[in-house]
Each structure stands twice: as structure tokens, then as C-alpha cells.
């Protein structure tokens, strides 16, 4: 997609602090972190939501989740605990319609989220 912010991060047109790359996914730090670790993991290919990625390419959704766990390992929060969030739709707070897993951790996380 030519007009998608996260496609532009994949292509390098928009800079980002990339922390991991795999054949089908890219992980980079959120520009407005909500926790000591706040990394976004996205598929290189454009899919709007987690459900659409699951339907179109389940192997890549699995790769996004595997990379999300590896981010937690790299950040030293895999043992203490971390949260993976896919906001889906406007009322849930999705603002960028290129699917992204938020990886959050490094502090106690409230449940349920707001
Ligand atoms: P959403 O609200 O769609 O679940 O998450 C979008 C996330 O993308 C937000 O947490 C926001 O801070 C982050 N974000 C928005 N624009 C940029 C950007 O240009 N670079 C980076 N690294 N993160 C961004
Ligand atoms: Zn995109």
C-alpha cells in the first residue's frame, strides 16, 4: 500500500528504531511508548487487521507471534511477563490499519486494560 505508514517503515521510507527483522516480519519501537518495553511487530505485507492476516496468511501471523516472543526474550521480560495486544477497530483504539502486535512489558500491567 503506497499510503500506509507501516508499509513505509517496512520499505525504509519512514525511519524507525528497528529491533528485529525476520523474513516476513519487522519489529520496531513504538514512537509513544506506554511501558518500558513497547515494541510493535508487523508483517512486511499489508493486511489491515489480525483477523484478515489470519485468514490470508496464517503462517505469517504465527511468525509475528514468534517474533513478539523473541522481542520479549531480547528485552529480558519473557520471564517476568509481557502482553501482546492487537487493537482491532476504531473503538478498540486501532489507529494504524496495518496489523501490528504491541509487545508491552517491563512494569506491572493492569488487567483488565482500559
Ligand atoms: P494502534 O493505536 O493502531 O493500536 O497503534 C498504533 C501505534 O503506532 C501507536 O502506539 C503509536 O504510538 C504508534 N505509531 C504511530 N505512528 C508511529 C510512527 O511513525 N513510528 C512509530 N515507531 N510508531 C508509531
Ligand atoms: Zn501497510
Nearest protein Cα to ligand 1, atom 15: 31
Domain residue ranges of the chain, discontinuous segments joined by +: 5-105
As a whole number, mean pLDDT of residues 16-27 equals: 98
Q: Summarize pLDDT for 60-113 with one digit per residue, the tens.
A: 999 999 999 999 999 999 999 999 999 999 999 999 999 999 999 999 999 999
> Which residues touch 14 (CB under 8 Å, ≥6 apart)?
5, 8
pLDDT, mean over the chain: 97
Q: Which residues line ligand 1 (CB under 6 A)?
A: 5, 14, 16, 28-32, 40, 87, 93-96
Look at the block and give the residue holding cell 478498540. Answer: 92
Q: Could you give the percent of the chain with pLDDT greater than 90? A: 97
Q: Cell numbers of 70, please?
A: 523473541
| Closest-lying ligand 1 atom to the alpha carbon of residue 86 | 4
Q: Give the catalytic positions in this structure.
A: 100
As a whole number, mean pLDDT of residues 19-37 equals: 98
Nearest protein Cα to ligand 1, atom 21: 31
Structurally, at CATH architecture level, domain 5-105 sits in 2-Layer Sandwich (3.30)
pTM for the whole structure: 0.98
Amino acid at each position: 500500500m503506497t499510503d500506509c505508514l507501516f508499509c513505509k517503515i517496512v520499505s525504509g521510507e519512514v525511519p524507525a528504531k528497528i529491533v528485529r527483522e525476520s523474513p516476513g516480519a519487522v519489529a520496531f519501537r513504538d514512537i509513544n511508548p506506554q511501558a518500558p518495553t513497547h515494541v510493535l511487530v508487523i508483517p512486511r505485507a499489508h493486511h489491515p487487521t489480525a483477523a484478515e492476516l489470519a485468514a490470508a496468511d496464517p503462517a505469517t501471523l504465527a511468525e509475528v507471534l514468534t517474533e513478539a516472543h523473541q522481542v520479549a526474550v531480547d528485552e529480558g521480560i519473557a520471564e517476568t511477563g509481557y502482553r501482546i495486544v492487537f487493537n482491532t477497530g476504531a473503538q478498540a483504539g486501532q489507529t494504524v490499519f496495518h496489523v501490528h502486535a504491541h509487545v508491552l512489558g517491563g512494569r506491572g500491567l493492569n488487567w483488565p486494560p482500559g
